Amino acid sequence: IRIQDAEAHRGQRVKVFGWVHRQRVQGRDMMFVVLRDGTGFLQCVLTDRLCHTRDALALTAETTVCVYGVISAVPEGKSAPGGHELAADYWEVVGRAPGGDDAISNRVSEGADPSILLQQRHLVIRGEKAAAVLKVRAHVMRAFRAHFDAAGYFEVTPPCMVQTQVEGGSTLFEFDYYGEPAYLTQSSQLYLETCLPSMGAVYTLAESYRAEKSHTRRHLSEYTHCEAEIPFISFEDLLDGIEHMVKDVVARVWAEPETRAMIKQLNPEFEPPTEPFVRMRYEDAIVWLNEHGVNHEDGSPYVFGEDIPEAPERAMTDAIGKPILLTHFPGPIKAFYMPATKEDPRVTESVDLLMPGVGEIVGGSMRIWDHDELVAAYAREGLDTAPYYWYLDQRKYGSCPHGGFGLGVERFLAWLLNRFSVRECCLYPRFVDRCQP
């Protein structure tokens, strides 16, 4: 059986495979071995001759074993994972793990240098916390898909090899594509927009790549990007949709007892957001920073038109202590495809969702949908329109008001699980100087 099914087999003799997660010897004739099989943990009790064998005396953590015996509820006053244990009547080693200097406890430990833990990430993920993060991640990905499916979106899978840019040329990973320059995608947004006339609202959960030489705790060179594009909406519709998505995804994983338990294990103080998100314009954020003495390193105040760096943005978000939909950024500091507002052409219909403890987890905007306006935007950025012919055609053959957003799944998880770095929220993080294992 799988360990997660153990409760249904209480009182029965079963066969279980697993890895030795931890063990404890009690006297000469009893040994407690906790097994792990990816679905849960099970305490096995070995007695008498079963714990006198050479295999028992030399048993090491991470050894794989097969154990036979009867599963029973633990005696009153005792505790074990799942509230039961397996009284073994036979067991055997399947695959041995080394002890001594090469034991897993000597390869990885909680207090080890972060660079060592990253190099040994394949072993780190066997730990309870790292495994819980990855399991919650799987459930969160499922919840995002369930959210979009319930809302009538179609999932699409755009290409990751492209010849266009979305977020500026300085963060492109370039490679040779059969003699032509090409790039790893920064975002699937442009391709999602092409699907609107045929599929309506669409989304993707795919990898995006940014060649940012940044060592901050919220940046990765490869990350999972949840992106969506929606036709015939207003800017207010977009803001409402982002807020609803975050709340709905959290509600879905919170409703699963197993997932909820892992979230509480990793982030005991977490409670799903219920109040409306704070809505703040960029210019009001500049005022907030000035009023609260959050300035540049040289002491000068932030002024309208400047990009707000990560540190002051996070300071403001943490001080307010609530999710913030920060809107209406100046055009020069945002992407070329974001339209100016009618009431104030200095600013765009753009939004970042800021979360306490993490900062930005979503970036979105309405998209320029007028053909000539988009051509003018290309000219301002100095971009050749030729590689974007197919994107311009969306404005030529029946355009419409539309908008969309991108959410960094690792940042979402860092907020949900109170992880210090997004590097903890993916399987094998990729960032500057790190492309192993």
Q: Which helix (H) or strand (E) holds 134?
A: helix 128-150
State residue 347 phi and psi, 5-degree precision.
-120, 165
Report the C-alpha gap between 63 and 105 in whole angstroms.
Answer: 13
Does the reported pTM lie above 0.75? yes
**pLDDT level of residue 166 (50, 70, 90 thresholds):** confident
| Per-residue pLDDT at 409 | 97
User: Is 70 exceeded by the pLDDT of residue 23?
Assistant: yes
Backbone angles phi, psi at 27, to 5 degrees: 70, -160
Segment 246-255 shows an average pLDDT of 98
CA 2 – CA 222 distance, rounded (Å)? 34
pLDDT digits (tens, 9 = 90+) for 217-236: 888 999 999 999 999 999 99
Average pLDDT of span 373-391: 90
Question: What is the chain's mean pLDDT, rounded?
Answer: 94
Residue 200 gets the label, from left (phi > 0), alpha (psi -120 to 50) or beta, of left
Task: Give dist(CA 261, CA 303) in Å, integer.
Answer: 45
More confidently predicted of 151 and 113:
151
Checking if the pLDDT of 169 tops 70, the result is no
Q: In the block, which residue shows the tokens 């969506």? A: 228
3-state secondary structure of 173: strand
CA distances from 302 to 279, 297, 298, 349, 355 (A): 20, 11, 11, 21, 21
- In angstroms, the CA 356 to CA 208 distance is 24
Classified as helix, coil or strand, 5 is helix
Given a contact cutoff of 8 angstroms between Cβ atoms, the answer to whether 203 and 227 are in contact is yes
- Tell me: the pLDDT tens digits for 281-316? 999 999 999 999 999 989 899 999 999 998 999 999
Give the pLDDT band (50/70/90) at residue 244. very high
| pLDDT tens digit sequence for 177-213 | 999 999 999 999 999 999 999 999 999 999 999 998 8
Alpha-helical segments (H) within 15-99? 54-57
Residue 352: its H or E element: strand 350-355
| 131, 125 contact by CB (below 8 A) | yes
Question: Residue 27: its pLDDT value, please?
Answer: 86
Question: Mean pLDDT, to the nearest integer, of 255-276?
Answer: 95
pLDDT at 20 over 80: yes
pLDDT at residue 165 greater than cutoff 90: no
